[in-house]
Amino acid sequence: MALDEISKAVLESVQREAELILKSAKKESEEKKKNAQKNAEEKAERFYQLAVRNIDEEMARKSVQVQGQINKEILKEKNIIINQVFQKAKEVILKSAGQDYQQLMEKLLARAIPQGIKGSIRVHKEDLELFRNLVNKWNATHGTVLTIDDRNCLPSRGGFLFVAEGFQIDQTLDTILSDLQREIVPIVAQRLFVGNI
């Protein structure tokens, strides 16, 4: 019987050892499984975060592009309106009563033509008679020789071009209003479009 008891004891010992090995292997397998699952979840989370960040960046870039395009269109429309305002100003000046237009042209002559300088002025053919009177008055008042170049009329009405030896002074309404527009467009835009986008 001693052999049976030894055999039984060895079997029990082997069985306990096998159970411990199985239990240890199972525990190690569970830990590896948990680690693999955790690594896969972390990898998936990193991939998800990267995808979200890429999508966010792409959306932000597209949003900036769209906003830029919208701003360009708004600016284009605002510039059209501002140009219309200055075009209307020119029309009002040209349609003003003869005396008002004449006084404005007289002021422009006084502002633009240096004292004692000889020269000629070019005007639109519709303004020839008005400027003949102004030039006669100018010459009588200032004692200088100012003439009208009626062979080289300006293409559009409003104002004049003073031509002297070596220089010329552009006092056409187109140039004056263009210069004025560049100078005061921020103020006009602010008043026209304040609070409007």
The pLDDT score that the predictor gives to residue 193 is 67
Query: What pLDDT, on the 0 to 100 scale, is given for residue 124?
Result: 94
**Per-residue pLDDT at 81:** 81
The count of C-alpha atoms lying within 13 angstroms of the C-alpha of 33, restricted to the half-sphere facing its C-beta, is 6
CB 131 within 8 A of CB 160: yes
Query: What pLDDT shows up at residue 196?
Result: 55
What's the CATH class of domain 96-193? alpha beta
Kindly report the length of the chain.
197
Question: Within 10 Å of residue 148's Cβ, how many Cβ atoms?
Answer: 18
Q: Where do the domains of the chain lie?
A: 96-193
Q: In the chain, what are the helix, strand and coil shares in percent, each to the nearest 5?
A: 75, 10, 15
Q: Please report the pLDDT score of residue 131 as a whole number.
A: 92
How far apart are the C-alpha atoms of 54 and 61, rounded to whole Å? 10
pLDDT (tens place) for every residue of the chain, 197 residues total: 577 777 777 778 878 887 888 888 888 888 888 888 888 888 888 888 988 898 989 999 988 998 889 888 887 888 888 888 888 888 888 887 678 888 989 999 888 888 778 899 999 999 999 999 999 998 888 877 889 998 999 999 999 999 998 999 999 999 998 888 888 878 766 776 666 54
Q: What pLDDT does 40 receive?
A: 85
pLDDT tens for 47-95 read 889 888 989 899 999 889 988 898 888 878 888 888 888 888 888 888 8
Q: What pLDDT shows up at residue 168?
A: 92
